[in-house]
Amino acid sequence: MTKLIPLDAVALENRSWTDIERAHVDTVLKSYDALIGGADSTMVKDIYSPDYRDHASTVPGGDLDGLIGFVQGFAVQFPDTVIRMNRVFCDGDHVTVHTHGKRTLDMDWDEIMEIFRLKDGLIIEHWETIEPWALMRGEKEPGQ
């Protein structure tokens, strides 16, 4: 089952976020819990806007149904995924989360940067970039 290593509580303390920004951060962090292990549809509907748009190339259709389908398939294909949260930033209605992830226990970590836009307390848009650590260290991709 997918494992989420959350941010240390200290990483979220003493931030100069407004109350709305702190609520946005809380919503985004809850989205990880909702999606880990295959997408809890009840939680997803409480966190994501029905008008949700995903700009990640991995999400077919770029909508909420595509996101749920992708996450459910990913959980089956990669049940040992580990996601380690490193940093979270918030500026108004945008929350940026920096994580490391690995699909299988024997893989190198990937460097992941995700940006979420919120509207009326719900996630309405998402972008992401994923880079293998091996490439960042100047190593060739596996198999090359």
112 pLDDT more than 80: yes
| Cα–Cα dist 67/58, whole Å | 9
Query: CATH assignment of 3-7+18-136?
Result: 3.10.450.50
Burial class (CB in 10 A: 0-12, 13-18, 19+), 124: middle
106 pLDDT more than 60: yes
Write down the domain spans for the chain: 3-7+18-136
| Cα–Cα dist 27/126, whole Å | 13
What's the pLDDT at 138? 59
Share of the chain above pLDDT 90, in %: 56
Q: In which band, very low, low, confident or very high, does the pLDDT at 144 lie, cut at 50, 70 and 90?
A: very low
In this prediction, residues 49-68 reach a mean pLDDT of: 94
pTM: 0.87
